[in-house]
Amino acid sequence: MLKNFYAQMIFHVSLLTTVGAGLGAPALCAAKEIPTNKPLPVILFIGDSHSVGSFGIQEDALLRRIAGFSVATYASCGSSPLDWLTDSMTHCGFFFKDTDNKEQRGWDAKTPLLADLLKTHQPRYTVVELGANMYGRPTEWLEKTSRDMAMSIVNSGSKCIWIGPPNARIQPEPELGRVFDALRASVGPYCLLFDSRNHTSYPASGGDGIHFNSLGESGQKIAENWALNAYYAFSPLVKLDKSWK
């Protein structure tokens, strides 16, 4: 999957080079006319309890380091794609951080509707970390809800990046592989899909078997490393986007 990801990234670079050569000087002149107070394009980051924890805190911080973009983060514990498409509440934790760096945390909150987030932020890129709460669900349901979310994102004009579920002791293979295969079939045609299983390992004992933060400092490091690997995989593509200049 990463091979396909980088293949698309190379295609993107080639496309930019070709288009730039074709436009030549007029494109440079047009760029000078862009107002200096033009709002920065937004990266929208959506996730579940992993993003409420150290993974999401690290990923949010990394995204905010990308020049030329502002970031809006919304993480809702226990959520799957359907929760972002319908009215749903979380009672196990949330982490919201807007483009002005205003942060909100707590236990109970309404999971924001994806349609509202897309309308408000009009994101250039939408990064989704979802899948762990789809474990054990029917394949048809997995594919439909994930596809509905991915299509909503791309139909809004946003590019989609999807970070799949990590390894977990209480969510072992082959079921976790079935979830990822369902994501590959449903969101693969619309989003760049990152396979988190290649970059995570849950210890045989300790913690709650799924959340890395429950392991203490060692789990926090696993989560942060996972976030870093995901960022390294997709951020080069985002950094190539200089349309904000």
pLDDT of residue 34: 38
> Is 10 within the bounds of a domain?
no
Phi and psi at residue 105, to the nearest 5°: -140, 150
pLDDT one-digit tens code per residue, 48-76? 999 999 999 999 999 999 999 999 999 99
User: Of 9-18, 89-98, 112-121, which range is least confident?
Assistant: 9-18
pLDDT of residue 243: 65
pLDDT of residue 114: 98
Q: How confident is the model at residue 24 (pLDDT cuts 50, 70, 90)?
A: very low
> Is 165 within the bounds of a domain?
yes
SS3 129: strand
Q: Is the pLDDT of residue 230 over 60?
A: yes
Amino acid at 227: A
pLDDT of residue 69: 97
Q: Is the pLDDT of residue 166 over 60?
A: yes
CA distance 175 to 126: 27
pLDDT of residue 37: 72
> Is 6 within the bounds of a domain?
no
Q: pLDDT > 90: what percent of the chain?
A: 82
Q: What is the pTM of this model?
A: 0.85
> Is 50 within the bounds of a domain?
yes
Q: How many domains does one find in the chain?
A: 1
Candidates 236, 10, 14; CA nearest to 125 is 236
- Mean pLDDT, rounded, for 159-173: 98
> Is 30 within the bounds of a domain?
no
- Mean pLDDT, rounded, for 194-218: 98
- Mean pLDDT, rounded, for 197-222: 98
Q: How confident is the model at residue 200 (pLDDT cuts 50, 70, 90)?
A: very high
For the chain, report the end-to-end CA distance as a whole number of angstroms.
Answer: 31
CA distance 138 to 141: 5
> Is 231 within the bounds of a domain?
yes
CATH number at residue 207: 3.40.50.1110
pLDDT one-digit tens code per residue, 100-124? 999 999 999 999 999 999 999 999 9
> Is 214 within the bounds of a domain?
yes
> Is 216 within the bounds of a domain?
yes
Show the domain range for 69. Answer: 39-239
pLDDT of residue 38: 81
Q: Is the pLDDT of residue 211 over 50?
A: yes
